[in-house]
Amino acid sequence: MADALGKDECRGLDVGTSRIVLAKPNGERPTYDVQLNAFIALPYAKMTEKMLQDEGIYHRVNDKEILAFGNRVDEFANMLGGDTRRPMKTGLLNAGEPKSKEMMALALEEMCGKAKNGEKICFSVPSAPPDGDSELIFHQHIIKDVLTGLGYQAEAVNEGMAVVFAELADDDLTGIGVSFGGGLCNISVAYLGLPILSFCTTRAGDYIDQSAARVTGQTPTTVRLHKESTKFKIGEDGANGIDQALTIYHRDVIKHVIDELEQRLNASTRLPRSIRSMPLVFGGGTAMVKGFEAEMKAALKTVKLPVEISEIRHAKTTSNTTAKGMLLASMLNM
């Protein structure tokens, strides 16, 4: 796969609830452009527009307001005592946000630009949430239409499988890939690069932030900024109560994923009998906090799986794992 990283005509796109990540080939190591998948509407003022331009913050003037999106918009939300608006929710376009399609189109256009030579791009889609097949179909078509409109050959790839492509090449693309995202946790079990089982859970990063915010009287943005800007570690409670809440809900998310994995694997009839053990690799922005790997290992000791877990490891590019997997999928499918 390393040799494939010289194919400049390929792109990998992680369309995440919390962040959008674009991966481009650059020799042995891809380059990544990461933007917060959120926006805020500001009253139009020429000075505000100039400031956004000077700071390189993505924005568009829309009648009497400025729609600022991407990195740093949470700073404005925090200053105004509010919260950012999100184009996506639980891994899919946010039906409750009237500007969801518009803002996703603007974000992808700014990040990806127009294709010059019909470049190929693989973009992430989650497994369908419970009773969410129709919403997934709609979401996938909207994202594909935007990318196709920019001139790309666009193809959707399951997010859990992206972890497999990115991290399990040395294991013959056999094992369990888990992506702990903002809106969903996506899990895929693969054998020789073929998906045996893929599913998702709705308890993820946003669930942690929103739950911790409710019990501490903070906004989800304040909780997320605290989590990302401090030395928070699962199991080490701070003095302000937020750390304790974050520990409780991180553990809840991890246990929920592992319990669901146990149930799904034991019920599956597709697991080849020749498989006795396989590695488990996890990534995603929610898995970046300290102590996450130890909690994963502890949770796995509480369940009985039909296969032995030979190794539990953190993805090498934790927050960019899905984008890296999408890039490799784009290259492998050429």
- Res 77: pLDDT: 72
Phi, psi at 312, each rounded to 5°:
-120, 120
SS (H, E, C) 118-160: CCEEEEEECCCCCCCHHHHHHHHHHHHHHHHHCCCEEEEEEHH
Beta strand 19-24 with 10-15 is antiparallel
- Res 133: pLDDT: 85
Give the distance, in angstroms, between the CA of residue 50 and the centroid of all CA atoms in the same chain. Answer: 31
Q: Binning pLDDT at 50, 70 and 90, where does residue 81 land?
A: low
- Residue boundaries of the structural domains of the chain: 2-37+76-165+320-332, 38-75, 174-316
> What CATH class has 174-316?
alpha beta
Q: Which of 306, 266, 265, 126 lies closest to 202, judged by CA? A: 126
pLDDT in tens, 300-331: 999 999 999 999 999 988 889 999 999 999 99
Q: Mean pLDDT, to the nearest integer, of 273-302?
A: 95
- Res 239: pLDDT: 65
SS (H, E, C) 264-310: HHHHCCCCCCCCCEEEEEEECHHHHCECHHHHHHHHHCCCCCCCEEE
SS3 (DSSP) at 232: coil
What is the distance between the alpha carbons of residues 205 and 318, in angstroms, rounded to a whole number? Answer: 14
Q: Are the CB atoms for 17 and 206 separated by under 8 Å?
A: yes
Would you tell me which CATH number, out of the four given (1.10.357.10, 3.30.365.10, 2.40.160.20, 3.30.420.40), belongs to the domain 2-37+76-165+320-332? 3.30.420.40
Q: Binning pLDDT at 50, 70 and 90, where does residue 48 land?
A: confident
2 pLDDT exceeds 50? no
For residue 220, the tally of other CB atoms under 10 A from its CB is 20
What is the distance between the alpha carbons of residues 157 and 123, in angstroms, rounded to a whole number? Answer: 6
User: What pTM was estimated for this model as a whole?
Assistant: 0.89
249 pLDDT exceeds 80? yes
Beta strand 88-89 with 92-93 is antiparallel
- Res 80: pLDDT: 63
Domains 2-37+76-165+320-332 and 174-316 share a fold: yes
Beta strand 19-24 with 31-36 is antiparallel
Q: Are the CB atoms for 7 and 51 separated by under 8 Å?
A: no
